[in-house]
Structure 1
């Protein structure tokens, strides 16, 4: 791995706690457009790393920004609240010059920040001027444009005005009144609203010759194809789409069908498709939706290419890979193959496109280009895959992999600056790739709606269908009394054929009534719970081959100590290979920082636990009297004697790779490193 290289882009959001109630909903909604949808894990959407900075109190500022990417954008939300907060102004002044600040004025007083050193000559985004009826749409549109302008503008120089605008090519059938009408409305909307300086819409009439000028125009544009009833039957509409595909341009297809289309033009697929209503009462919102989709697809398109270039530098994908921002198409492969000489035909044509992978049946047509030379050599062999699927294809032995991932208590992004939904994405991506490689997953979580077990199971169901393997590869290990909860029966029915539930009785030194649920509402009951959880964890970890650990609560748990911490300690004592992911926060981050800094984090001490967990002192006293208390001296000694070299043993990673695994906040990088390590230990003799 090239440690000097960094991912292409990270986006940061900073806002004052007194603005949280009003504006966080808009920030959160916008962020959803930038990240992979956890409810649609196989959708082809943006997945830009995002970091959030605020605090719980006006007297406190967030942790300092970190430089994670080659380009780091900061949306700085300014208002009267930030203006009168001395500590927040001091925080802003300390933002390193490596960050590109985009000031967003939530009210007119925000402009009084303009004299600050790092805001001089900055053009403020005027959020206070947006119409309230379409505020969320403008929020997404305007901030998306800033990402495009500063992150992916394809012009060599960026100046104010049209040179920084997104060039749009409106493709539509002139014979369709509705299509023409929508194209005119889009252009008029751009020309007559406050966003006119952001877009340069070019309407190309089909009567023009498709000459060099038009070709050059399209080469630097994002195409909005307005798909009306007659669109696909028009020659010039087809030519525009074909040229856009040939030039690998971003394309949005706007579905405006009124009645019927007898044939979808084949080239007008494999691109985002947005349906719009013909209801004139909501026309402005529909146009805003089109423009938002256009901007986001342009960003996704360019970001995908930059990210795949980064992966190529890192060695994730073959150096000679041809990069596509969309899954490859037949015409593109034909164009690539036709210019290959005899020696090149003997080489594998590697094609890489963004995650997630398409179904194998959708892309197996690439095998039909393969042939054999008169001397028996294979010609024109093609491999098309996404970064996490293009590597580690060797056959390897199945491992039983224990998963220790749980959420933690948020602090309104004061010290940990990632959204909790990143943990769900991590669970999905990790489970998907491990299950597809036919490993078995062991998770010791309770069965909550929208909990991590459910996300792993939903992913398992998808993977089972994708690879057509009906084997049960997910085990949920439950301690008494969790397995007598009524929800367990529902989970068994819902995930029948996907999930095996392993039940662990309470240990013999406690003797509860097995059939009666015991609420954890007093020290005695909490002690029984803690004994049951420890027993389950020890037996479960013993059955696993290795463990992946991330996040986890520091407080408000039911065991003898934080669950993820206890599973780390047990795994270390059993000498299990551990993949430790500290970049996603929680108590795992405290373990990682303690190992790296050689100084025990307060959260890993008995004193901190007693101060931050009501009733914990009583539980510890009771447990110690019975010989089963949490041993924090052991925790201190074990973590103090652990270093990265020890953790690296038997993981298949080098020390620098493991060190990166411990701190990376990027899901794909963490999963890549885990897969690399698993491949090494699975194929080693």
Structure 2
């Protein structure tokens, strides 16, 4: 027999708890902790229900579904089923099999606005390139959102794509707390919960990034069960200028040029191997290639006629590209003058690259982008024009992921 304490605990698994010791009189600090938790949970509860009601109104959630501000508990599910309701929608993130196997046993369907177990393998044929990287902080003067918002986008997107059996392709970034690590942490959690077997994340590395220090070797070993590392060769036109087994620091004009050539080679091949590209954020300065990395990936993907989702509201390179396509906002970063003034040594590297026929001409990049037809980009991504423009402008992560998944399912 379950005692009353455990009984209450079993039916409150998804409710925040505050532990207060019974050995002494409750302190003012404990009172404040309880009040803070109660206020935050009340706000979350109201916001979650209002969001679900809105999602139901616009067709994300079937009309015959009941709404719950948290994942359903057993008693709640039995009560709803007794009233003739068999579908319950609750907020993100979703529960997985180890937490929700009892749903099927009692005959209910519990899901979130973005996840239903029936979609588990719907993207198994897709190799999705993720072009998401950090943006420089601007003190909220332009972008009006914290940089952590982009991290959450990368994590949530990775979780939803991997849960549908897609393969994710990402390039570089082996730093602790870098975007590769955020994505791999989601993959590791998902692998454990869904009992997956094969790595579903490919991390593509340009030379000399895989000529690694011991701590990077250890870092890669940590994620070996979920990450497949693809090491790209040095381009033929520069291979005679380097020693492959020795790391080359980007500390001179020639070395920076070599880095740019290797990064371009890696991006070209990784994009060729992908079926779709999803782009958000991206540094506008402080990069190592011939142009901002995410910008180069956008241009290469478009030239290869890959479906490209552009999430512009998160700022950075993709924000500037969306401003250009929509003819609004700041487009100045996509000029030679702006890039030369914001990147020390970049003009020297460009002159060196020009002598080898490998420089970046921003005027040509802008002209190429301006030739794009947004309706054609939308159709290529399985979306209507209105939906694609919405994804270019929306700062709401759930909406962006919903539209991406809608497009991917249409393509699949």
Provide TM-score, normalisation by structure 2.
0.94
Distance 1:506 1:303 in 2: 52
Distance 1:274 1:538 in 2: 52
Aligned counterpart, 1:494: 222
Matched ranges for 1:603-618 at <5 A: 603-618=333-348
Aligned counterpart, 1:93: none
Do the aligned partners of 1:461 and 1:498 also contact (CA within 8 Å) in 2? yes
Shift of 1:282: 8.1
* Superimposed CA distance per residue, residues 268-290 of structure 1 (whole angstroms, 9 cap, x where no aligned partner): 44321111245769811111000
Distance 2:409 2:341 in 1: 43
Shift of 1:499: 0.7
Distance 1:301 1:262 in 2: 24
* Superimposed CA distance per residue, residues 8-43 of structure 1 (whole angstroms, 9 cap, x where no aligned partner): xxxxxxxxxxxxxxxxxxxxxxxxxxxxxxxxxxxx
Q: Secondary structure at the match of 2:152?
A: helix
- From 400, 410, 426, the equivalent of 2:127 is 400
Shift of 1:265: 5.5
Instruction: Work out whether 1:361 is the aligned partner of 2:88.
Output: no
Matched ranges for 1:505-516 at <5 A: 505-510=233-238, 511=240, 512-516=242-246
Matched ranges for 1:530-549 at <5 A: 530-549=260-279
Aligned counterpart, 1:351: 88
Aligned counterpart, 1:140: none
Q: Structure 2 unaligned segments of length 5 or more: list them.
A: none
Task: Pick the structure with more strand per residue.
Answer: 1
Aligned counterpart, 2:385: 655
Aligned counterpart, 2:11: 267
Aligned counterpart, 2:47: 303
Distance 1:279 1:643 in 2: 69
* Superimposed CA distance per residue, residues 205-254 of structure 1 (whole angstroms, 9 cap, x where no aligned partner): xxxxxxxxxxxxxxxxxxxxxxxxxxx75xxxxxxxxxxxxxxxxxxxxx
Aligned counterpart, 1:438: 165
Name which of structure 1's ranges 323-332 and 418-427 shifts more when overlaid on structure 2. Answer: 323-332
Which of structures 1 and 2 has the bigger CA Rg?
1
Aligned counterpart, 1:22: none
Distance 2:106 2:135 in 1: 51
- CA spacing shift, 1:594–1:281, aligned 2, 3 Å: farther
Do the aligned partners of 1:392 and 1:679 also contact (CA within 8 Å) in 2? no
* Superimposed CA distance per residue, residues 81-140 of structure 1 (whole angstroms, 9 cap, x where no aligned partner): xxxxxxxxxxxxxxxxxxxxxxxxxxxxxxxxxxxxxxxxxxxxxxxxxxxxxxxxxxxx
RMSD: 2.0
Instruction: Work out whether 1:594 is the aligned partner of 2:324.
Output: yes
Q: Secondary structure at the match of 2:142?
A: coil
Aligned counterpart, 2:33: 289
* Superimposed CA distance per residue, residues 535-591 of structure 1 (whole angstroms, 9 cap, x where no aligned partner): 111111111111000000111111001111111111111111001100111111000
Whose RCO is larger (CA < 8 A, sep 6+)? Answer: 2
* Superimposed CA distance per residue, residues 337-380 of structure 1 (whole angstroms, 9 cap, x where no aligned partner): 3343xxxxxxx82210111112223323232344xxxxxxxxxx
Shift of 1:397: 4.2
Q: How many residues align?
A: 406
Shift of 1:332: 2.2
Matched ranges for 1:326-337 at <5 A: 326-337=70-81
Shift of 1:642: 1.4
Shift of 1:603: 0.6
Distance 2:279 2:56 in 1: 28
- CA spacing shift, 1:466–1:515, aligned 2, 3 Å: same
Shift of 1:423: 1.2
Shift of 1:601: 1.0
- CA spacing shift, 1:598–1:421, aligned 2, 3 Å: closer
Q: Secondary structure at the match of 1:580?
A: strand
Matched ranges for 1:132-171 at <5 A: none
Aligned counterpart, 2:58: 314
- From 92, 104, 109, the equivalent of 1:383 is 109
Distance 2:90 2:186 in 1: 21
Name which of structure 1's ranges 645-654 and 597-606 shifts more when overlaid on structure 2. Answer: 597-606
Distance 2:12 2:209 in 1: 52
Instruction: Work out whether 1:429 is the aligned partner of 2:156.
Output: yes
Provide TM-score, normalisation by structure 1.
0.57
Do the aligned partners of 2:134 and 2:282 also contact (CA within 8 Å) in 1? yes
Distance 2:254 2:19 in 1: 59
Distance 1:590 1:392 in 2: 37
Q: Secondary structure at the match of 1:476?
A: strand
Q: Structure 1 unaligned segments of length 5 or more: list them.
A: 1-231, 234-260, 341-347, 371-381
Matched ranges for 1:412-491 at <5 A: 412-486=139-213, 487-491=215-219
- CA spacing shift, 1:508–1:265, aligned 2, 3 Å: closer
Do the aligned partners of 1:578 and 1:647 also contact (CA within 8 Å) in 2? yes
Q: Secondary structure at the match of 1:505?
A: coil
Distance 1:568 1:653 in 2: 18
Aligned counterpart, 2:314: 584
- From 660, 666, 682, the equivalent of 2:396 is 666
Aligned counterpart, 1:87: none
